[in-house]
Amino acid sequence: MYVILTSKPGQFRTEPVDGVVPVESYDYLFYGRRTTHFVIAELQRETKIRVVEETPPALVNHVPTKFLERFDTLEAARDALRRLASFGSMDLQLAQA
């Protein structure tokens, strides 16, 4: 089972914890500017993901993985990211990091 962790530089970052193993990472580029960082991770067991705010007071939230969309295969997770990176004629890119 796979999940996608999302981080928005300058706003928040999502950190993998024990039971969540990063497999691949991608940067989402909006007109050449990186706006989001995605990590496809293998979910080995139910746990809570750390979401850390990057602005004061830098709160930390622990979000149960049951709230994350799950994908049966790595390819299904990649397809979900590809769909995010295509919208009409806008300059959107998904670059492997």
Q: Which two tokens stand for residue 94?
A: 């998904």
Q: Average pLDDT for residues 41-70, to the nearest whole number?
A: 96
CB 22 within 8 A of CB 38: no
36 vs 95: CA distance, rounded Å: 11
The pLDDT tens digits for 2-51 are: 999 999 999 999 999 999 999 999 999 988 889 999 999 999 999 999 99
